[in-house]
Chains A and B, each alone.
Chain A
């Protein structure tokens, strides 16, 4: 498989705190991989760096062989790297369909036309179609702020995928989804993404979900990569069991009630 994204010795510090270091990852076209690690292990920092939100202190990011260092988020997005957010980043006071229409409009026009009407039937059709793929078309005309967290997470992801990205980062897609719905939720998600040839990297705390949906897993610990490989191998790795899954178990248990 082709490597589409490669990072070399990626490092990020905040003052004296090292948030991430020695991050070397290769992501192949179309693959699905899980990322595990406790809070503060550097997972989101990694995603923020690759998507241009946070400039790395040092290291290299190569996307299809070209350096992405110094490019702004919007340019990286246009090149085909998209992401969702742990807390859905939506246009709260607008309806679901308007959120999608804005996403589509931006995807279609690098510089938004000033007087040409933004909305036409064709675009609305595409918006509905995208919503249907994620099973949320029935909420199309609700205001986003009034919807439940799980639905907002799906809208967030649906918006990230309108541009048919080659690489998609999902930042804790199942957080805020109740425990017994997580499996089904993730199923819908992966199914919706399967139709395209998108490589998906998802951050997840629930090991059952990781096992069920990703053939490959990367484990983060204290800002660096502890293990990277086939899921069965990584999840049985001693260090991973001790430093990541051990803490994950408590974390999951703690937050279950909140979700």
Chain B
């Protein structure tokens, strides 16, 4: 481990803070935190693709693969160990994403969005019509055990929370490394100008493929953790509207920092719970309006308000005028 940057330090500080908070705060809030940590990992998967200029409207696919892989392993193999389930989810995502990646890496822009949506809907169709897996109702997961230990009651709740938080923090630090790595830089370059990337001697296809697989793995971990904390999976996990909500989080929070989508997911989850209660029929309208306003007025998301130095440059009037044609 070389030196940590500020984001990584704050993530490390956040871990004990989260655990401490979980001990004091009422359990319903802790529940939301835990659920949104799982979903936050999927949003991170969407985000690292966005950094390469790719918008996935089908990230729910891997959210669902993670959840169902864990569920199936519990249902048919009787596995309830969290780490084993996590590993099974990762393996499933790894195999499927590596295969699908050969198809998806050829696509950019709206075609990438459409194709990722299409493959996620294949799974949706498949699961919705599979009666053995409860069709659209889905099925329940086992209560997780931990390397042979089976805590109960409050201890079980806390254990799952601590492990979830630890996995998310570790993943976020790894992804932060990814963004600063050569691959991260190449991805930025692909977003800006793929032609130049090829002319510098790198394969944009390979970079996109690797990024796609990493995003899938992270999302599947989110799926396993989410499913275990809810104790249930259903095909809605891979419906395109679910994938859309992950995209929404990234647009709203911005892709400037790895922390942004995590916080964004949590705030959205809390907001959703209240909004659905107060006014169930205008909730999506509020979401849509906020999203429109964000796109128009804060193209780099809410996070850009915090990171002022990078926003100052955004308002240089020459910046847009000089954008070359044919990009």
Contacts and interface: CB of A to CB of B under 8 A. Distances in A.
B186 to A, nearest CB: 5
A145 B322 contact: yes
A163 interface: yes
Contacts of B326: 87
B181 A106 contact: no
Interface string A131-145: 000000000000101
Contacts of B177: 115, 117
Interface string B158-181: 000000000000000010011011
Nearest to A105: B182
Contacts of B323: 92, 145
Contacts of A115: 174, 177-178, 181
Interface stretch (A71-79, A195-203, A214-222): A71-79
Contact of A92 (B185, B193, B201, B206): B193
A162 B202 CA distance: 14
A83 B198 CA distance: 11
Contacts of A106: 182, 186, 189, 197, 200-202
Residue of A82, A87, A112, A147 ringed by the most chain B CB atoms within 10 A: A112
Interface in A101-131: 101-103, 105-107, 109-119
Contact of A118 (B184, B192, B202): B184
Contacts, number: 128
A90 B210 CA distance: 23
B267 interface: no
B216 interface: no
Given A111-B206, A114-B214, A119 B199 contact: no
B184 to A, nearest CB: 7
Contacts of B196: 89-91, 159
B324 A92 contact: yes
B174 to A, nearest CB: 7
Contacts of B316: 143, 145-146
Given A89-B195, A92-B193, A145-B319, A116 B182 contact: yes
Given A73-B199, A114-B214, A90 B181 contact: no
A106 B326 CA distance: 23
Interface in A53-96: 72-75, 77-78, 82-83, 87-94
Interface residues of A, number: 43
Residue of A51, A82, A102, A116 ringed by the most chain B CB atoms within 10 A: A102
A242 to B, nearest CB: 33
B183 interface: yes
A87 B325 CA distance: 9
B203 interface: yes
A50 interface: no
Given A77-B199, A92-B323, A113 B182 contact: yes
B313 interface: yes
Contacts of B178: 114-115
B200 A145 contact: no
A164 to B, nearest CB: 12
A160 interface: yes
A116 B318 contact: no
B270 to A, nearest CB: 33
B186 A105 contact: yes
Given A72-B198, A115-B178, A159-B200, A90 B193 contact: yes
A173 to B, nearest CB: 15
Interface in B186-223: 186, 188-189, 192-193, 195-203, 206-207, 210, 214
B2 interface: yes
Given A114-B178, A143-B313, A89 B185 contact: no
A74 B203 contact: yes
A146 B312 CA distance: 13
A154 B206 CA distance: 29
Contacts of A89: 193, 195-196, 199, 324
Contacts of B198: 72-74, 77
Nearest to A149: B322
A144 B18 CA distance: 41
Contacts of B203: 72, 74, 111
Contact of B183 (A75, A83, A88, A113): A113
Contact of A91 (B189, B199, B320, B325): B189
A82 to B, nearest CB: 7
A117 B151 CA distance: 40
A9 B201 CA distance: 27
A105 B185 contact: yes
Contacts of B206: 111
A117 B182 CA distance: 7
22 contacts: A74-B198, A74-B202, A75-B201, A77-B199, A83-B199, A88-B324, A92-B322, A98-B188, A102-B186, A102-B188, A103-B200, A105-B185, A106-B201, A107-B201, A114-B183, A116-B182, A117-B2, A118-B185, A143-B319, A145-B318, A146-B316, A146-B319
Given A113-B181, A114-B181, 5 more contacts: A72-B198, A112-B202, A114-B178, A117-B180, A119-B185
Interface of B: 2, 174, 177-178, 180-186, 188-189, 192-193, 195-203, 206-207, 210, 214, 313, 316, 318-320, 322-327
Can you list the 8 inter-chain pairs with the closest CB atoms, starting with the nearest? Answer: A91-B192, A112-B182, A77-B201, A89-B196, A112-B183, A118-B182, A106-B202, A106-B200
